Structure 1
């Protein structure tokens, strides 16, 4: 569907809703997130504060509810200090009041603490209603990333530098690990801590979100016997890439070329695939993938289809790009203490989650536009505008299923995804000099051919 057609359908389906600015009363008025407040309403924030014992004992100029919304709004305006974030929260109010001092805002953030932000994230984490399934299974992915924090003594003690051949260097790093829903790119569960702890050590803390009816995608780092056993124990299925030379006993060969084996006491199926990528019609690249899966039925889950499905694992890389590049713009976080880092990360992830939920609601109303055609950048910029104008905070008497964010997304959807290949490059260069010479940074149009290897083909490929 063209963009013009999308606009025409949208105009016919949804009438423009005119609303007036309505906010909470008195000192609570600055506490909002624009239109996103309807997804994180006052009652939800108050409940999180009450459950974690963070409600103020006396009414202050900066009530705890307002401070929580300030922290969430800071996730939308990651390049601004908290006083400037406050200025945007009150810019659309009839009586913006006086601007709190940096010291007052810092004391208020410390008073609220980490727990209410974590409670809010836990309330919002999960797949949106109607999330797409693959053969009846909710497709999820697990992977990790790192986030840079200020080089303060407290952060250095907690997180340390990344070690290397020249000793510790760069900013202290937080390692973050998440389970996400592919397609809608919403978060199911997260954990984070010092960089020195590896992904496989953090992973078991996330498996509580897994259920029967899910399939978890993961890269080679997670092809660990104990992790495979732990995932299988949750009832969820898995598709994990492993090393091509991983020693696994071949028990039986199946009709689609895959074969059965066992790992950590868990029955698995092994798929060896030769993937040929043709770039711009001329250059060719060949890749050998070995996947292990607990989806054992070759008729219901053909081997080639599982290789195609595994590509959805890259959805989680897109999420980390949106968090670190689109929202943060490559910046380090603000907080100079570990408690502040925890608070800021939970606030950032909560804001990200609620943006993604708003996007999922919009694409659910218009099934002609898939989840991956909704622009995260448009959602983020529109949400910022609604905060500045203090618009859509409370639901109108006329129900508006989309709101301004949804309409902005559907009026300007991304084009249909093309198959392209982009080379892996350093995102933040250590040196401005190209020590490794010229790098091809072209995004090539590509076509992909997948061949599932038979036992004979695999033996021939492995022979010297």
Structure 2
């Protein structure tokens, strides 16, 4: 019988530091960077234990790649490709103690170093397009967590079964990389948390946000960063006062909101599919005041890019976590785990953006996040690509697999907005239509409303 012998060289750190790697993603989070944040946060070990601090950092990041596994099984995977090198076999208790010794500070500083828009972020008329939004994540139901993270209040079915935290992120829409993030107990609202992210805004950016962020004080704070914004606001009886100060030729008008000048765009959006059509209104406010340079129909179409932040949350909560509850049973462990998740997501997204950038004209939207995640997992198990080779390889194995599996250009599809996972199984009775359909979308800009001083 024919036989094949496959031999390969594995380059990792020496001694007890050998299991401290993240496969090819280690090049995005190199040893020197991890050692620097450990020294800055005073978490470098005083003596080299079986689990040095650097190894624990990589173990936490690998735990995000293998979110369905306990840390003991994660350890087996980071040690699997070491090619017979002697490696410790720590107990679950030892890993728990090591994570507590490390604390959340090194992961937080690591995220601060890696956050920011990747090269190739989408620009609209010279402005970097960003979006802000919040989501809710469930944490382990322990007494320690309940002291900080409360359950979400419910209706007749009672509060949520698990404590929850609110995560708020600022993403670059073109690459879905995280520019900044903040999280808090679910009892704090999105507009309360949002000011913590404003330091990451600057001139040359346009921020997209939904109706929850349509508050005058927050709009003024965003404008104070010199970044532009495009925010949807409520209409009807609950709409903010937006008096017509001056009319623009495209149907929009100039007004004031939160003490700053804004331009108001009333759009009527008609969505037509094979099953019929539906029309709804959308009122937008923006600091882009020049109608000649920024036409109202194009601004209304730009607002759809806000959904990129929802896609980023789907990748984080469904693709990486698989809808699971966060593991940690203490508030400090929750901080540590959330920052580890953000770092892991960011390096995966950066690897995708780097790969797309090597092929001019390739939209990062066509790259499969699932392919990148599974390729990264394989590289961890093989302990492959831990150290960069003698020649620069911007694509890498992960990038090549992503480029070989590019999805078709994004099609314009819609699906009914329905509850995917009801709080109670009794709420999900009946057949739910989740089919997607190809639509045509028509945007009509409505003229500014008449005011008492206008001629009839």
Q: TM-score range by the shorter chain?
A: over 0.9
| Cα distance in 2, alignment partners of residues 306 and 451 from structure 1 | 12
SS at match of 1:128: coil
Q: Which residue of 1 aligns with 2:18?
A: 29
1:19, distance to aligned residue in structure 2 (A): 7.4
SS at match of 2:39: helix
SS at match of 2:377: helix
- CA 1:370–1:270: 2 relative to 1, 3 Å: same
The CA deviation string for residues 147-170 of structure 1, in whole angstroms up to 9 with x for no partner, is 101111111121111112344331
- CA 1:19–1:422: 2 relative to 1, 3 Å: farther
Counterpart pick for 1:442 among 432, 435, 438: 435
| Cα distance in 2, alignment partners of residues 19 and 239 from structure 1 | 53
| Cα distance in 2, alignment partners of residues 101 and 279 from structure 1 | 57
Mapped contact 2:201–2:225 kept (Cα < 8 A):
yes
Counterpart pick for 2:218 among 214, 219, 227: 227
Deviates more, 1:131-140 or 1:382-391: 131-140
Mapped contact 1:242–1:292 kept (Cα < 8 A):
yes
Mapped contact 1:19–1:396 kept (Cα < 8 A):
no
Deviates more, 1:48-57 or 1:92-101: 92-101
Is residue 2:93 matched to residue 1:116?
A: no
- Give unmatched runs, 5+ long, in structure 1: 1-17, 460-464
What is the number of residues matched between the two proteins? 440
1:132, distance to aligned residue in structure 2 (A): 2.8
The CA deviation string for residues 222-243 of structure 1, in whole angstroms up to 9 with x for no partner, is 0101000000000000000001
Counterpart pick for 2:169 among 159, 178, 190: 178
| Cα distance in 1, alignment partners of residues 375 and 364 from structure 2 | 17
Mapped contact 1:142–1:180 kept (Cα < 8 A):
yes
| Cα distance in 2, alignment partners of residues 374 and 435 from structure 1 | 33
The CA deviation string for residues 10-35 of structure 1, in whole angstroms up to 9 with x for no partner, is xxxxxxxx973200000000000000
Q: How does 1:271-286 map to 2 (within 5 A)?
A: 271-280=265-274, 282-286=275-279
Q: How does 1:79-90 map to 2 (within 5 A)?
A: 79-90=68-79
Counterpart pick for 1:349 among 317, 342, 351: 342
Q: How does 1:235-314 map to 2 (within 5 A)?
A: 235-245=226-236, 246=239, 247-280=241-274, 282-314=275-307
1:424, distance to aligned residue in structure 2 (A): 1.7
Q: Which residue of 1 aligns with 2:359?
A: 366
Mapped contact 2:50–2:88 kept (Cα < 8 A):
no
The CA deviation string for residues 90-144 of structure 1, in whole angstroms up to 9 with x for no partner, is 0000225342100100010011110000000000000112423111101000000
Mapped contact 2:135–2:168 kept (Cα < 8 A):
yes
| Cα distance in 2, alignment partners of residues 178 and 92 from structure 1 | 35
| Cα distance in 2, alignment partners of residues 299 and 273 from structure 1 | 18
SS at match of 1:289: strand
Counterpart pick for 2:28 among 17, 25, 39: 39
SS at match of 1:123: helix
Counterpart pick for 2:375 among 382, 399, 404: 382
| Cα distance in 1, alignment partners of residues 8 and 205 from structure 2 | 41
1:270, distance to aligned residue in structure 2 (A): 0.1
